[in-house]
A = this chain, B = another copy of it.
Amino acid sequence: MRQDIEGPYLRSGQVAEQAGVNLQTLRYYERRGLIAEPRRSSGGHRAYPPETVTLLTVIKAAQRLGFTLEEVAELIDTGRRGHPTPDLRVRAQEKIAEVEARITDLTTIRTALTQVVNAGCDSLTHCSCPDCPLPFADLAEDRTHEES
């Protein structure tokens, strides 16, 4: 038998290659709810509509913007359900705040590192430099575990 699904459907390997992702990743995304379960051939092989490739491109773009897979799944989901909410913009604004907070952290760290270099610290444990700035007890960077 030639092929038992008509139309421009792609097999998983083709989708993976065209989108530049690993085949396993494709099934991983399916498990995570990022891409819908595709049709199957009579033998059980997946048959994807071509726009799946575009969807994967979009997912990768959102990842590059700093969204987690869970956030991407939610964004796709609320988009699909026709929610008229400006969800993406709100999420993007929240993400900007996150990114800026991270930049602030990194800037603080860079400042501290610069102090280490300028002071001429020569050991973590037995630094002999005068006015050694270690150990930076005030440096936070632990926002993930903060509450309230």
Contact = CB atoms under 8 A, between A and B. Distances in A.
A109 B139 contact: no
A65 B124 CA distance: 12
A39 B120 CA distance: 34
A124 B89 contact: no
A109 B64 contact: yes
Q: From DSSP, what is the main secondary structure of chain A's interface residues?
A: helix
Contact of A134 (B61, B76, B107, B137): B61
A125 interface: yes
**Which of A93, A126, A135 has the most C-beta atoms of chain B within 10 angstroms of its own C-beta?**
A135
A66 B100 contact: no
B92 A103 contact: no
A126 B87 CA distance: 13
Interface in A35-69: 55, 57-58, 60-62, 64-66
List 8 tightest A-B contacts by C-beta distance, closest first. Answer: A61-B135, A64-B139, A79-B123, A92-B116, A99-B110, A96-B113, A61-B136, A92-B113
B65 A116 contact: yes
